Amino acid sequence: MSTKSTSKTPLLLSLLALIAGGAIGYGVGMKVEQNSSAPSLQACQQQLQSQTDQLQHSTEQYQALVTKNEQQQQQLAQATTELATMTALAEKQKKDFAKQLASLAQKKQQLSVSQKKLEVTKKKLNTEVVKLKTTTNKQQVVIDKSQQYFKRQAEMKANVEATQAQVVELTKTTNGFKKACDEFKSGNSWNWVSQKDCDNYEQQLGLLKTQQATLASQQQALTAINKEIGNKEIGNKEISKK
């Protein structure tokens, strides 16, 4: 038996009891009336119609109550279903939120580790940058000095070559005057020679010796510059290796 049928049974019993009571009352009333003074048939019919109307009204009220009760039960069932759905959804959202919190906590931990690694890497890079700047500055100093040495080397090479050319020319001129002077001193020369040739020879010989001394000095300076450039190149290679 369903809940709907069970809920209707007391009301039906009440109505049957009401009808039976009315009939019994009517019969007793008729008997009493007959014993005293019998009512008219029209009065009895009116009374019966009134009771019938009341019964109909009560039946309609009962049916309205049953319909309302059924509607409330349907609404309650729907509300219960919706509540169950919302509860399940809330539980699911709660689990999803818990997973998201756990994921965020894990990402936060990973981010913290990454930040620490980044700080360490940053410090190492800063140290390397300082070292690189120091090395670069040293290399720049070496390059600047090397450029100066190479410039001096080129200038000294040019000076040596110019002095060497002058020594060659002076040597030729000096040798010419020496030959003439030797002929003059021998006294057997057929050429037009004189003491002036010996004076010129002495003058040219002095100039030649001066230029030879200058050439030797320039060659020594060039050798020193070449040696210094060699040392700078070795130092530059060592700095590059660092």
Instruction: Kindly report, residue by residue over 128-151, the tens digit of the pLDDT.
Output: 888 888 877 777 776 767 788 889
Over residues 37-56, the pLDDT tens digits come to 566 899 889 999 999 999 99
Q: What is the dihedral of CA 151, 154, 158, 159, to 10 degrees?
A: 60
Residue 142 contacts residue 232 (beta carbons within 8 Å): yes
Q: pLDDT: is 21 or 75 the higher one?
A: 75
- φ, ψ of residue 151 in degrees (nearest 5): -65, -45
Flag whether pLDDT at 16 surpasses 60: no
pTM for the whole thing? 0.41
pLDDT reported for residue 7: 52
Tell whether the model's pLDDT for residue 15 goes beyond 60. no
Query: Average pLDDT of 99-112?
Result: 88
The pLDDT assigned to 161 comes to 96
Mean pLDDT check: name the lowest of 51-65, 128-142, 152-166.
128-142
What per-residue confidence (pLDDT) applies to 109?
A: 87
What is the pLDDT, as a whole number, of residue 28? 45
Task: Inform me whether the pLDDT recorded for 175 exceeds 90.
Answer: yes
Q: Distance between CA 184 and CA 197 in Å, rounded?
A: 8
Q: How far apart are the first and last CA of the chain?
A: 99
List the single range of 18-27, 38-47, 83-92 with lowest mean pLDDT. Answer: 18-27
**Which has more pLDDT, 191 or 21?**
191
* 231 vs 224: CA distance, rounded Å: 11
- Is residue 8 predicted with pLDDT exceeding 70? no
Average pLDDT of the chain?
A: 81
